[in-house]
Amino acid sequence: MTHEKYLVPPRTEVRLTNFDPSDAGKHASHDEALPIIQKNVERMDRLQYLLYADGSQSLLIVLQGLDAAGKDGTIRHLFTGMNPQGTAVASFKQPSAEELAHDFLWRVHARTPAKGEVVVFNRSHYEDVLVVRVHELVPPDVWSKRYDLINDFEKLLRKNGTSILKFFLHISKEEQLARFKRRLDDPERQWKISESDYSERALWPKYIEAYEEALSRTSTDHAPWFIIPSDHKWYRNLVISEIVSDTMEKMGLKLPPTRVNIADIKRKYHEAAEKAGGKS
């Protein structure tokens, strides 16, 4: 698979109509893709172990998308296999009074990964150029300045050893409605339904416009955006797992050197084992 097919090159004007949300590449079905997804998830788990042990770099993964695009499902299927000691998920809801009293990136910076960690943002700082724009929560002269601030913020993270991958989960309006219907019909998922699911659909064109500008202005060499076809959940998982695992492979992660004398430790172990055996 070529990552470039879904990569937004820097300084590119994005039009989402040019990207097919139902694309499934050369794969015909979930059953065909599943072994590849499982292999990628195993790679991610192994590489996360190396990342944690290496302790010199970190990885930030940003998931954005319209309602029902599959952010929760992506996390559940791809990242829950990682060791929770070095993995975290951060969600950004409506800001609190304390958060509003600071700059818009203040609450976000506190949740970025420490060295050795993987952090997944389920929604992110991009809400401050998306929902606040669509709902006119701040004037244009405020949100329009945030693109450059976001680029500078992500450049700072990258200079400090954090690799950044940003995924826009691209679904069609028809698929979104079908997923809402499945939620309505499934008692175990009805808790996820809200009235805003349907009222926000009326704002679809405004959201698309906001996403297009965000993708165009903030896909950089140090923090690229990928537009992921997400009408097929299995293909979404396949593409993201491949991009994440390939990116981690390129980070050059290594186990740290041993800090003790292994021969001496083995000798002490055998001495202790012999003593324990003599007492039994």
* Burial grade of 271 (CB within 10 A; 0-12, 13-18, 19 or more): exposed
- 141 close to 214: Cβ distance less than 8 angstroms: no
Q: What is the mean pLDDT of residues 129-134?
A: 97
Determine which of 111-125, 152-166, 180-194 has the lowest per-residue pLDDT on average: 180-194
Determine which of 233-242, 252-261, 271-280 has the lowest per-residue pLDDT on average: 271-280
Q: What is the 8-class DSSP label of residue 226? A: E
44: Cα separation from own chain's centroid: 13
37: Cα separation from own chain's centroid: 16
Sequence-separated (6 or more) residues with CB below 8 Å from residue 152? none
Q: What share of the chain has pLDDT > 90, as a percent?
A: 78
Q: Judge whether residue 139 has pLDDT over 90.
A: yes
Q: Judge whether residue 169 has pLDDT over 90.
A: yes
- Indicate the pairing of strand 162-170 with strand 58-65: parallel
Sequence-separated (6 or more) residues with CB below 8 Å from residue 204? 66, 173
Q: How many CB atoms lie within 10 A of CB 237?
A: 25
Please give the pLDDT value at position 110: 96
Please give the pLDDT value at position 1: 55
Q: Judge whether residue 2 has pLDDT over 90.
A: no
Map residue 28 onto helix, strand or coil: coil
- Type of residue numbered 201: R
Please give the pLDDT value at position 259: 66
The CATH number of the domain where 49 resides is what?
3.40.50.300
From residue 15, alpha-carbon distances to 3, 69, 115, 222 in Å are 18, 18, 36, 22
Query: Structural domain tally of the chain?
Result: 1
Confidence of residue 279 (pLDDT cuts 50, 70, 90): low
Please give the pLDDT value at position 280: 43
Distance CA 280, CA 275 (A): 9
Q: What is the mean pLDDT of residues 237-264?
A: 88
In terms of Cα–Cα distance, which of 240, 213, 220 is closest to 159?
Answer: 220
What is the span of the domain harbouring residue 230? Answer: 3-279
Please give the pLDDT value at position 265: 74
- Type of residue numbered 137: L
- 86 close to 118: Cβ distance less than 8 angstroms: yes
